[in-house]
Amino acid sequence: MSLSLPEVKRIAWLARIEITDAEAAAAQGQLNDIFKLIEQMQSVDTGGVAPMAHGQDVVQRLREDRVTETDQHAIYQAIAPQVENGLYLVPKVIE
Amino acid sequence: MDWETVIGIETHAQLSTASKIFSGAATQFGAAPNVQACAVDIALPGVLPVLNRAAVEKAVRLGLAVGAQINRRSVFARKNYFYPDLPKGYQISQYELPVVQGGSLPVMIKDVAKIVKLTRAHLEEDAGKSLHEDFHGLSGIDLNRAGTPLLEIVTEPDMRSAEEAVAYAKALHALVRWIGICDGNMQEGSFRCDANVSVRPKGAQVLGTRCEIKNLNSFRFLEEAINYEVRRQIELLEDGGSVVQETRLYDPERKQTRSMRSKEDAHDYRYFPDPDLLPLVISAETIEQIRSELPELPQAKRERYMRDYQLSPYDAGVLTSSREVADFYENLIQALGGGYKLASSWIAGELFGALKRAGLEICQSPISSGQLAGLLQRIQNNAINGKQAKEVFDAMWNGEGDAEAIILARGLTQISDARELEQIIDGVLAANLKSVEEYRAGKEKAFNALVGQAMKATKGNGNPAQINGILKKKLEG
Amino acid sequence: MLNSTLKQLSALLAQKKLSSVELTQSYLDRVARLNPGLNAFVTVDADRSLAQARAADAQIAAGKAQALTGIPVAHKDIFCAKGWRTTCGSKMLANFVSPYDAHVVERLNAAGAVILGKTNMDEFAMGSSSETCFWGPVKNPWDRTRVPGGSSGGSAAAVAARMAPVAIGTDTGGSIRQPAALSGICGLKPTYGVVSRYGMIAFASSLDQGGPLAKSAADLALMLNVMAGFDARDSTSLERPAEDYARALEAPPTGDRAKPLAGLRIGVPKEYFGEGLGSDVGAAVEAALAQFEKLGAQRVAISLPNSGLSVPAYYVIAPAEASSNLSRFDGVRYGYRAAEYSDLADMYRKSRAQGFGAEVKRRILIGTYVLSHGYYDAYYLKAQKIRRLIARDFVEAYQQCDLIMGPTSPNVAFALGAKASDPVQMYLNDIYTVAANLAGLPAMSIPCGFGEGNMPVGLHLTGNYFAEAKMLHAAHQYQLATDWHLRQPAGTE
């Protein structure tokens, strides 16, 4: 399998990373080299093997329903690119 | 051509927990922007989610209430997309393995019962809010709502009209409040519906292309949006066009649905199991514990009222429309030691009428079930008649005290003494010879006129049943 | 002092022969002198460090000293530390001052340790050479024309050059062990779940694990004592009784004192000694295995048949998780936002294109692709199944042996820039280290000799789940009998 240039651009769009034509072309070559390495996976039969998401077979711990957090928004917003009246500002959101 | 409408509903019910689904921030509505958005909610680098036990228990509650399968093992997945109200760039939801699978909800459409099958219900987190006003052409982002626990309840495409969809939504709304998992406040967005609408030629087997109308936060909008969308799709198809699968928004001002621009580009959500969370495993003991805490459900109550109290399906439905109403009714009949039908008709009639006029919920009623029982007892033992009872009711509503005090204060005693009534009726007959003659000539209406005159003569305090009997005896005797 | 163990430093502090302020200042002086040539530290804040040192001295004076009280520790710049700029090696977070402490940082602070500074690293821990840093590459103290390994290259170089007595790092596919090996020091990645990930900026959540880098196994043990522990804020943190890893080192050998490792079965996987392994590295590792046998251990030939698939599976799983973990860097709430953009989508695209470096973007693209519609089963799901096969190989192997040993890296440190343009060659560096992350097993690297160009070679140890103490014991006994770990790069005196 190999990635086409439009596919490279599509995934860059999905990932919201601006990519020039030249960058996309360079990325295409590198990604295809990497996918050659990855394709080695297809050589093994994994029929009947359960996928493994974590190193250990443990289950989710539950937190008690208690409010433990206090208002810190002034501290958090001190490092924000653009805020006003406690709100984060972004270019107009279109619904 | 005849068309058939097919509707499926996805409901986002906000679970009434104190803290968020994956963080310890408060969920209270109406706080100042971002003061309830903690480090986890704003997705600072390095923070991690931990699941709220109460959210899980409330999901299980719903599952048990709709007779669904509770998956003993379910998995949280990430739904990846970029949006400023989604701080992590993904929403934690459940995808392949939801906590609740299957189940059904009985729904009354007028007097006809229908079962709406459910596909699933899964836990997920809510997003924040984008505010569009007053930011010099920019949008403001408030993340207080981000991370609020939601239960998304998905039906099969089982409904065939806007009316059925609304009936389902109302039944579900009543149920989630009944079992105490959601406050059902639609203005605050605690209960929002998405409708998947398609049409197909009557008799066709395959489904038509559907549109999803998002975020309908009132039953009226749900109904209007579906009706508009059905008309739009039929017109499109009849004009030889085709329906495009898309997400639409309902504009209540114009009473129209419109395509959502932000959802235009085809989404690829790249779902995968969230590696920050482990599989959610729910033990049989936990499920049984939650089952044992479930209240009697509306359907069971309705059937019991019809069977044990001989109420009509309609009355039983009204009394089980919410847990508060049913509780009021049950407290009332307990105080009365019976009087099932009398209690039912007073709640559905006088009480509901007064509440509606005052814009109150039953839990805000100025007349308690105990007070109403006091009044109904006087009716049962013939101490007052219906007209007087209404007067007492109004006085109680206005805070004039209990039934007994009002009756005493106003001298509202019913004249049930036969001799006294006979004397009064003799006088009425003597003064209304014309009516007497008419009645004897076969004019039934004349009888009613005489009853009216007799009641008037008792100043409305006569026992109507006795007056009827005495009159009949005298006229025919 | 430079080659003292943590225990010795602690004793000096306790006896008040040295104050924490003096110790911290002496390391700050070394950083000022050596760092310009090595680029191991990206942030030093002498005032903050010395304030912590003064507090530590007060604790010692009050008789409240603990094992690490007053000890300066270098922190990889991936751990959020309140009030410290925490950049994760990225332009994206170049101005991010953390408003909170990672769990590991809290524990170190509570134990009285001093934050000596934040160390350089591959951007978002994505790299095996510490060359993808926004702050420029880290140089290997043994040869400044070579890389120190990565991604915890700054921490490794800091310890190797004696700019810090000890450091902390993170390991997603070898990011503690490989730089430890290439820089001639020791590094430990604990069992997944032993160290909380809270406040450690995520690369690949199911693989990331924090751990110490130090000169000796004994120092690693003392560090792990503080770093390990349950944290309710990390769902994957394990609730288990505390262990004293340092005490396990001292465990008296039963029987023959010359053979302290009698009874220890060392599994040597044949797959780790095949094609691709440098002969210099192979020779050093063989010599180390012989030394372990001399100490009484028994060598067992084993096989990990699926080990060849660990790199392909890793380069699906890690980028997939990373592509999602890094979505939060969108220029809305913190971090870099492009100066000019036309609309919301453009702001995202430009902020992320400008804020991330080439390797990070490459991995985001790989991850986005393998999770995208139509490819999930062929890549992500397939990789998760192979992950299970790899974990099963270890389960089988541990029926025959107690520890698995082999090389940490196929070659000694390579020249700066040598592999920068060839991602596949770079990724193959991780061939012996990624399996432990996929399986969630504890693993470590210790120095075991020198190879080409007189560059250090690392010996890799993998234990069964929670076998950190056993690994540390074996490594400590080896270090009692050898002195590879005491070698110091020339020019760092």
Rounded CA-CA distance B348/B332 in Å is 13
Domains by residue range for chain B, with CATH: 3-287 (no CATH), 298-410 (no CATH), 418-476 (1.10.10.410)
User: How do the domains of chain A map onto residue ranges?
Assistant: 5-41
Higher per-residue pLDDT: C210 or B402: C210
Residue B287: CB atoms within 10 A of its CB come to: 16
Cβ contacts (< 8 Å) between A53 and chain C: which residues?
A: 206, 384
* Fold for the domain defined by C6-254: Amidase signature (AS) enzymes (3.90.1300)
User: How do the domains of chain C map onto residue ranges?
Assistant: 6-254
Cβ contacts (< 8 Å) between A67 and chain B: which residues?
A: 18-19, 24-26
pLDDT band at A55 (very low <50, low <70, confident <90, very high): confident
Across the interface, whether the CB atoms of A62 and B52 are under 8 A apart is answered: yes
Q: Which pLDDT score, from 0 to 100, does residue C254 have? A: 66
CA angle B143-B146-B149, nearest 5°? 155
Contact between C315 and A37 (Cβ < 8 Å): yes
Across the interface, whether the CB atoms of C95 and A94 are under 8 A apart is answered: no
Q: Which two tokens stand for residue B376?
A: 């109904």
Which run of H or of E encompasses B223? helix B219-238
Q: For residue B226, report the phi and psi dihedrals to the nearest 5 degrees.
A: -65, -45
- Residue C203: name the closest of C303, C88, C375, C115 by CA: C88
Torsion from C-alpha of B461, B462, B465, B467, nearest 10 degrees: -160
pLDDT in tens, C133-148: 999 999 999 999 999 9
Does C98 participate in catalysis according to the annotation?
Answer: no
Does C259 participate in catalysis according to the annotation?
Answer: no
Q: Which residues contact B477 (CB under 8 A, 6 or more apart)?
A: none
Mean pLDDT, residues A40-59 taken together? 93
Torsion from C-alpha of B403, B404, B405, B406, nearest 10 degrees: 50
Estimate to the nearest angstrom the gap between the alpha carbon of B104 and the chain centroid: 17
Helix, strand, coil in percent for chain B, rounding step 5: 40, 20, 40
Residue C2: CB atoms within 10 A of its CB come to: 14
Task: Report helix, strand or coil for B119.
Answer: strand
- Residue C116: name the closest of C169, C167, C162, C152 by CA: C167
Q: Which pLDDT score, from 0 to 100, does residue B264 have? A: 47
Which one of the listed residues C98, C175, C196, C445 is annotated catalytic? C175
Cβ contacts (< 8 Å) between A73 and chain B: which residues?
A: 33-35, 37
Cβ contacts (< 8 Å) between B247 and chain A: which residues?
A: none
Across the interface, whether the CB atoms of A95 and B261 are under 8 A apart is answered: yes
Across the interface, whether the CB atoms of C193 and A39 are under 8 A apart is answered: no
Q: Which two tokens stand for residue C14?
A: 């306790």
Across the interface, whether the CB atoms of A55 and C441 are under 8 A apart is answered: yes
Among B278, B280, B283, the residue to mutate for chain A (most A Cβ within 10 A): B278
pLDDT > 90? residue C466: yes
User: Hey, which residues 340-369 in chain C have their CB within 8 Å of chain A?
Assistant: 341, 343-350, 352-353, 356, 361-362, 364-366, 368-369
Residue A68 to chain C, least CA–CA distance (Å): 12
Contact between B151 and B192 (Cβ < 8 Å): no
Torsion from C-alpha of B444, B448, B449, B455, nearest 10 degrees: 160
Full pLDDT tens readout for chain B, 477 residues: 899 999 999 999 999 999 999 999 999 999 999 999 999 999 999 999 999 999 999 999 999 999 999 999 999 999 999 999 999 999 999 999 999 999 999 998 887 889 999 999 999 999 999 998 767 889 999 999 999 999 999 999 999 999 999 999 999 999 999 999 999 999 999 999 999 999 999 999 999 999 999 999 999 999 999 999 999 999 999 999 999 999 999 999 999 999 986 554 567 999 999 999 999 999 999 999 999 999 999 989 999 999 999 999 889 989 998 899 999 999 999 999 999 999 999 999 999 999 999 999 999 999 999 999 999 998 888 788 888 899 999 999 999 989 888 988 887 777 777 888 888 888 888 888 888 888 888 888 888 888 888 888 887 778 888 888 888 888 876
pLDDT band at C233 (very low <50, low <70, confident <90, very high): very high
pLDDT in tens, C405-452: 999 999 999 999 999 889 999 999 999 999 999 999 999 999 999 999
Q: Which two tokens stand for residue C34?
A: 């050596």
Across the interface, whether the CB atoms of A73 and B19 are under 8 A apart is answered: no
Contact between C442 and C194 (Cβ < 8 Å): yes
- Distance of CA C473 to CAs B66, B281, C217, Å? 57, 37, 8
Q: Which residue in chain B is spatially nearest to A66 when comparing CA positions?
A: B19
pLDDT in tens, C362-382: 999 999 999 999 999 999 999
Rounded CA-CA distance B166/B220 in Å is 8
**Nearest CB to C206: which of B51, B270, B275?**
B275
Mean pLDDT, residues C222-249 taken together? 96
Across the interface, whether the CB atoms of B89 and C236 are under 8 A apart is answered: no
Across the interface, whether the CB atoms of B143 and A63 are under 8 A apart is answered: no
Q: Which residue in chain B is spatially nearest to C87 when comparing CA positions?
A: B45
Enumerate neighbours of A (3 or more CB pairs within 8 A).
Answer: B, C
pLDDT in tens, A6-15: 999 999 999 9
Is some CB atom of chain A closer than 8 A to the CB atom of C190? no
Q: What percent of chain C has pLDDT over 90?
A: 95
Give chain C's mean pLDDT. 96
Q: Say which CATH architecture domain A5-41 belongs to.
A: Orthogonal Bundle (1.10)
Rounded CA-CA distance B412/B331 in Å is 26
Does C152 participate in catalysis according to the annotation?
Answer: no
Based on the number of CB atoms within 10 Å of its own CB, is A68 exposed (0-12), middle (13-18) or buried (19 or more)? Answer: middle
Q: Which pLDDT score, from 0 to 100, does residue B266 have? A: 61
Q: Which residue in chain C is spatially nearest to A44 when comparing CA positions?
A: C386
Q: Which two tokens stand for residue C347?
A: 């702001």
Rounded CA-CA distance C407/C456 in Å is 12
Q: Which pLDDT score, from 0 to 100, does residue A46 have? A: 96
Q: Which pLDDT score, from 0 to 100, does residue C27 have? A: 98
